[in-house]
């Protein structure tokens, strides 16, 4: 199955640490294969790896990547999420399901080069909101909601519970 990759650009380690962590965790939870972050940030890498180690799956994180090079060399389709883009419902059928997908989200102002490099500039509504919300809605729609409860075979598995918390821990 083709991979879904996230490219986070404009990450400022001090200011964006929570937001970028949540971009990574939401991407993982919603079925992405991994995330690439432009600025090097070892703490971010460790935090995300620690969640993957406990909750399972193969989520890759790399920081300190050259985003322009990645956009140029990526073998697949590139989607850029932006409030200025075309409607997500209209764009969705145009995205290939047979090739890897790279989804770009920004932090502050996104350079125009990204708009030009993307195969699809897509909005999730035309109101300004958040990269976490945009990505979550996009991924959920792109995967038809299939990853919300998919099994990751982790050390820890949460069992849905109407009231309390049920966590099953695997002992190896
Ligand atoms: N003002 C910035 C700009 O002009 O690029 C946007 C900053 S916004 C806080 C951070 C990121 O959230 C954007 O780069 C975009 O990826 C995403 N985003 C925010 N609102 C969006 C929307 N309505 N649709 C799609 N993506 C959105």
Q: Which band of pLDDT confidence, cut at 50, 70 and 90, is reported for residue 1?
A: confident
The confidence score (pLDDT) of residue 122 equals 98
Is residue 172 scored above 90 in pLDDT? no
The confidence score (pLDDT) of residue 171 equals 79
Task: Dump strand ranges (E) for 20-106.
Answer: 34-37, 60-63, 77-87, 101-105
Mean pLDDT on 8-14: 95
In order of start, what are the domains of the chain with their CATH numbers? 4-169 (3.40.1280.10)
Is residue 33 scored above 80 in pLDDT? yes
With a 6 A CB cut-off, is 131 part of the ligand 1 pocket? yes
Given the DSSP bridges, would you call strands 166-169 and 156-159 parallel, antiparallel or unpaired? antiparallel
pLDDT digits (tens, 9 = 90+) for 120-160: 999 999 999 999 999 999 999 999 999 999 999 999 999 99
Entry pTM? 0.96
The SS3 assignment for 43 reads helix
- Residue 111 alpha carbon to ligand 1 centre in Å: 12
Distance CA 79, CA 117 (A): 9
pLDDT digits (tens, 9 = 90+) for 34-88: 999 999 999 999 999 999 999 999 999 999 999 999 999 999 999 999 999 999 9
The confidence score (pLDDT) of residue 125 equals 98
With a 6 A CB cut-off, is 134 part of the ligand 1 pocket? yes
């Amino acid at each position: 199955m083709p991979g879904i990759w996230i490219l986070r650009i404009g990450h400022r380690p001090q200011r964006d640490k929570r937001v970028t962590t949540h971009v990574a965790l939401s991407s993982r939870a919603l079925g992405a294969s991994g995330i690439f972050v432009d600025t090097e940030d070892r703490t971010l890498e460790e935090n995300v790896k620690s969640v993957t180690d406990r909750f399972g799956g193969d989520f890759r994180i790399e920081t300190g990547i050259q985003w322009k090079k990645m956009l140029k060399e990526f073998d697949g389709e590139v989607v850029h999420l932006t409030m200025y883009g075309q409607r997500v419902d209209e764009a969705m059928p145009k995205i290939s399901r047979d090739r890897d997908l790279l989804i770009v989200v920004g932090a502050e102002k996104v350079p125009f080069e990204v708009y030009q490099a993307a195969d699809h500039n897509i909005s999730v509504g035309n109101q300004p909101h958040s990269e976490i919300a945009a990505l979550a809605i996009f991924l959920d729609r792109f995967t038809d909601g299939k990853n919300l409860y998919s099994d990751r075979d982790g050390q820890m598995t949460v069992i849905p519970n109407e009231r309390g918390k049920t966590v099953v821990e695997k002992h190896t």
